[in-house]
Structure 1
Amino acid sequence: METTQNVQVGRALILGATGGIGGELARQLRDAGWEVRALARTLDAAEVERDGIVWLRGDAMDRRSVVDAARGCGVIVHAVNPPGYRRWSELVLPMIDNTIAAAAATGATVVLPGTVYNYGGDAFPVLREDSPQRPTTRKGAIRVELERRLEAATAQGVRTIVVRAGDFFGPRAGNSWFAQGLIQPGRMVQTVRVPGRPGVGHQWSYVPDVARTMVELIERRHTLAAFASFHMRGHWDADGTQMAHAIQAVAQRHGLHPRLRRFPWWLARLASPFVPTLRELMEMRYLWRVPVSMSNARLETEIGREPHTPLDAAVEATLKGLGCLPQTPNGAHF
């Protein structure tokens, strides 16, 4: 797809622009010529322009701030989530209600990064857009209700694009299993932890690829169904160890020699009563016990080939961005 550079093609509001997918999509829309606004709770002034993005002071939990920020926008990206998986039952649904109100008032299309939490075991191992959504977890039930509200809002003229992908990784992916579970950001790679069972496949998605997919769908938004859902294939780790081995191989090219170890689920279980984030992660452990992948047939019918960065390049960029590789590679080839 060719994108006209430096030509304003619309105005978009990003909720969650300080996070991984929200920040990446904000930058890609900016580079594609969009005027990008981002809502942030902590700003020194009511409005700040930085790196070609206009930052507005406001809170996704405050309907008036969301509606005001969305004025004149053709797209609202709802990439905001409670940090550390905490307070989902209090925050997730009120935030989407505010986004729906803003979209109804402005005629904007909502773009939502979806999750696999919506699905239970009866939908595995291959998820399609029409797979049954019968989650077995509290967070999954909340996400199903979130999407139900968006679909119901089509009666108010609200249009939505949902892009569902695997576990995120990338140079600025924010909270992710890659950064929280497999390696330690800010430290040279010494150990790579493997959360899944041997032989159990797992799906990963490189954040820049996800954002590029969203940009392509946003450019087609007027031709899509009022509530359009798409799944990405991303990087399928067929035996559950390919990602860990890719990290190990990249690190070795930079003079490091990390070892692979099983993720200490037993320790996470012991600490979970005292660490809310670990407690929430334990609830989603079932996604590491069974293979879960997604079919991207509908996506490729719509846009052609799914954006896809080779795994080795994606892992290297991620480790560099997380500060896990030496500044000067040892024996690396360019």
Structure 2
Amino acid sequence: MTSTQTRTALVIGATGGIGGEAASALVRHGWTVRALTRRAQPARDGIDWIEGDAMVAADVARAAQSVHLIVHAANPPGYRNWGKLVLPMIDNTIAAAKAQGARILLPGTVYNFGLETFPLIDETAPQAPTTRKGRIRVEMERRLKAASAQGVSVLIVRAGDFFGPHAGNNWFGQAVIKPGAPVKSVTEPSTKNVAHAWAYLPDLAETMARLLDRADRLGAFEVFHFGGHLLAWGEMAASVRRVTGQPKLPVMGFPWWLIVGLSPVVPLFREMAEMRYLWREPLVLDDRKLRAFLGADLPATSLDAAVATSLRGLGCLEVSHPLPAGEGGARRAAVGG
């Protein structure tokens, strides 16, 4: 496809954090963007909203008519009903992509990997997760790889825990800070002295769009790791302190003891406890392949700027609040670069 031809994308999950950012990034890069949503919405921000359900194959097929790309960013909130929803939704996306000859873009996670691959994980690391959600993620990618052998091009970009200006289904907006009010304290979910990979959603979405601008260089089944910000315990809290101008802002440890203790009777806590291992061991996504592919064109917002934008978007910081001068260089999970 030449640059003068219209590129059309369908985003499934555009009301979520990464889906919404991906839709916006694609619009900036000249794509015509449709978004599948269960509730009708007027066209806005260059996005055409189409009413339908990702669990209904006919709805996905209708929304995907004549598209060149399907972004599969659907993710059941709060870990609910993963076993019943995740795989049927990816099957509907695969069927629609086959019918249209479209590429599938999947925002991937680190759930696929067990402790034997830690701390440095590249795209070829073995996938032998011990968690139910991890096994579901592995099966999603297996089905996508099988589809790529049948003519469906697939791009997977795996990243660490999301944060950004929209609350979404992520730890930053649900545990690290309390959205909708000035910040009174910060919670650190990770174990002390353990580094954790965070992905700033606008950077991740822009990276995906730039990869798609180079689609002629992508293979039929292409996987990249997005390094993002590699933060030790206390570094996210330190950034929030700088951005809010509160150097003595209380920093709390996450109450894992309560989550684990109540997990037998609280379904959400059970799902959270299953993923605790990701916060207890150091994890670095090896992004050398991505850096080699994009070179200097890899987005890298500084940590303080990313945190400030996130807090503003979550209603925790006044829009006019200034970023502290001279603070906040990006600390990247980079290896060899």
Query: Please, what TM-score do these two structures have when normalized by structure 2?
Result: 0.91
2:242–2:324 CA contact under 8 A, matched in 1: no
2:36–2:53 CA contact under 8 A, matched in 1: yes
Gaps of 5+ in 1: none
How far does the alpha carbon of each residue in 1:129-157 deviate from its partner, in whole angstroms, 9 at most, with x for none?
00010101000000000000000012220
2:68 maps to 74
1:11 maps to 8
Give 1:333 shift.
5.8
User: 1:200 is paired with a residue of what secondary structure?
Assistant: coil
For 1:261, the aligned partner's letter is M
2:301 maps to 309
CA distance in 1, matches of 2:68, 2:132: 32
1:318 maps to 310
The sequence identity of aligned pairs, in percent, is 52
Indicate yes or no: 2:46 matched with 1:49.
no
Indicate yes or no: 2:156 matched with 1:162.
yes
1:171 maps to 165
User: 1:168 is paired with a residue of what secondary structure?
Assistant: strand
4+ residue stretches of structure 1 with deviation over 6 A?
Answer: none
CA distance in 1, matches of 2:286, 2:83: 30
CA distance in 2, matches of 1:218, 1:89: 30
Indicate yes or no: 2:108 matched with 1:122.
no
For 2:8, the aligned partner's letter is R
Indicate yes or no: 2:202 matched with 1:208.
yes
1:83 maps to 77
How far does the alpha carbon of each residue in 1:232-260 deviate from its partner, in whole angstroms, 9 at most, with x for none?
110011x32211111122112xx685211
For 2:301, the aligned partner's letter is T
1:16–1:81 CA contact under 8 A, matched in 2: yes
2:243–2:323 CA contact under 8 A, matched in 1: no
2:153–2:221 CA contact under 8 A, matched in 1: yes
2:22 maps to 25
Residues 101 and 286 of structure 1: is their aligned pair in 2 closer, same or farther, counting only changes over 3 Å? same
2:128 maps to 134
CA distance in 2, matches of 1:108, 1:330: 43
How far does the alpha carbon of each residue in 1:2-37 deviate from its partner, in whole angstroms, 9 at most, with x for none?
xx9xx7740000000000010011111112221100
User: 2:55 is paired with a residue of what secondary structure?
Assistant: coil
Size of the alignment, in residue pairs?
Answer: 323
Indicate yes or no: 2:280 matched with 1:285.
no
Task: Quote the RMSD (CA, aligned, Å).
Answer: 1.9
Residues 123 and 131 of structure 1: is their aligned pair in 2 closer, same or farther, counting only changes over 3 Å? same
User: 1:12 is paired with a residue of what secondary structure?
Assistant: strand
1:228 maps to 222
CA distance in 1, matches of 2:214, 2:98: 20
2:182 to 158, 175, 188: 188
User: 2:130 is paired with a residue of what secondary structure?
Assistant: coil
1:17–1:39 CA contact under 8 A, matched in 2: yes
Indicate yes or no: 2:266 matched with 1:264.
no
